[in-house]
Structure 1
Amino acid sequence: MLGAGFANNSQTGILLTIAITLEYLFVGLALAATLPTRSPWALISLPTGLALFTIVGTALGVAVLTGASKPVMAAVLGFGAMVFMYLVTEELLVKAHEQGDTAFGSATFFIGFLCYLLIEQALA
C-alpha cells in the first residue's frame, strides 16, 4: 500500500505513511502486551521486525508500480483501502465479534463504502 502511494505521488505516500505509522504504533503495543515473555529484547525486536517488513514491502511496491497506468494504481489503492476497512470492521471492532461475523454485515459495509466513493467522485 505504501509503495503504491509513493509510486502514485509523494503526497499520497506521505499521508499513507503517517496513517500506517499511527496504526502500527497501536498494533505493536497490543502485540507486545500479549507476548508470553516480557524480555526487553522481544518487546523491541518484534515491532522493529514488523517495521522492517513494511520498509521492504514499500520498496517492492515502488519498484513494481512506478510507471503503472492510472487504472492499475486506482485498483491497487482501492484494494488496499478495502483491506484496511475490512481489518477495522472485522478484526478491531469488538461489536463485530459480539454478534458474530456474517456475510450480510460485511457485504453491506462494502456496499456503503462503495456508495460513499461513488458520491465523492460524482461531486468532484
Structure 2
Amino acid sequence: MTETLVQALSYTMLAVVAAMVGGVIAVFRPPSARMESNVQHFAAGVVTAAVASELLPDVHDSAPAVVVVGFALGVTAMLGIHRLTGIIERRNVGGSLGSATGLLITIGIDMTIDGVLIGVTFLTEATTGVIIAVALAIEVLFLGVTGVIALPSDTGITRKLAVPAAFGALLTAGVVVGVVALEGVSGAPIALILAFGAAALLYLVTEELLVKAQKVPETPVSTTLFFCGFLSIFLLGMVH
C-alpha cells in the first residue's frame, strides 16, 4: 500500500465517520426541516469553496478542450444519474425499500465519484486532498441523514445504519480505485477528472443541496450559514 493511498484513506475516514454520525442522528434524533435546511446551506457553502479554491485552480492552466470535455462529462453524468433515479422511482423498483431505492442508488454513485475525486486530489497535491476530504465529510454527514430518513418507517435500526455504512464503503472503494488506477498519471487525464469532479460537485450544490434547502422558507440564519461554510473552507486553504 503506497504512502499516498494510506494518507488518502486516513482523511477519508473523516467522511466515513461523518456518514455514520449522520445515520445515527437520523435514527435516534431526526432533525427538523429547518435544521436540515441550515445544514444543507452550510454544506453547499463548504463544497462551493472547495471547488472554487482548490479544484478549479488546478485545471486553470490545462488545455481549454480538456476542461470543456471534463465539465461536459460531469454534467452529463449527474443528469443521467438524476434521470435514472426518476426511472427507478416510477417503476417502483426496490421491493421493501420502496421509493427510497432511487435516492439510495444516486447517493451511492455520488459517494463512489467523491471517493475517486479524493484519491485523485491526493495524487496531485496532498493539501488539496485534505481540504476536499474535509469538505466532502460535511457533505456526507448530510447524505447519511438523508439516506436514513428516506427509508420506510418500519425499517429496522440495523438496516437503517447499514445505509450510511454502505456509503462509507463506497467512498473508500472510490479512493482506492482513484489512487491505484491513476498513480503516476499526470497532465490531461488528471485535469479531465478534476474538471469532471468540479462539475459534479457544482451540480450537487445547485441542483441538490440548495434545491432541497429551499423546501422551507429562507432565513437570514440559513443564508449566513452558506457563507460561513464557504469562508471556513476558504480560510482552511489559506492556512495550509
Does TM, normalized by the shorter one, top 0.5? yes
Q: Which has the higher contact order (CA 8 A, sep 6+)?
A: 2
Deviations 1:4-61 (A, max 9, x none): 1111122122111111111010011011112103422122110011100110110010
Q: Percent identity?
A: 34
What's the C-alpha RMSD, in Å, of the aligned pairs?
A: 2.0
Count of aligned positions: 97
Q: Choose which of 78, 81, 86 in structure 1 pairs with 2:203.
A: 86
Deviations 1:60-119 (A, max 9, x none): 100111111133222211210111101221223228x99xxxxxxxxxxxxxxxxxxxxx
Match of 2:36 in 1: none
Whole-angstrom distance in 2 between the partners of 1:11 and 1:41: 36
Runs of 4 or more off by more than 6 Å in structure 1?
Answer: none
Give TM-score scaled by structure 1 length: 0.70
2:165 paired with 1:48: yes
Match of 2:91 in 1: none
User: What SS does the corresponding residue of 1:92 show, helix, strand or coil?
Assistant: helix
Query: Is there any run of 5+ residues in structure 2 with no aligned partner, and where?
Result: 1-116, 216-240
2:130 paired with 1:21: no
Give TM-score scaled by structure 2 length: 0.38
Query: Is there any run of 5+ residues in structure 1 with no aligned partner, and where?
Result: 99-124
Structure 1 contact 8–66 (Cα < 8 Å) conserved: no
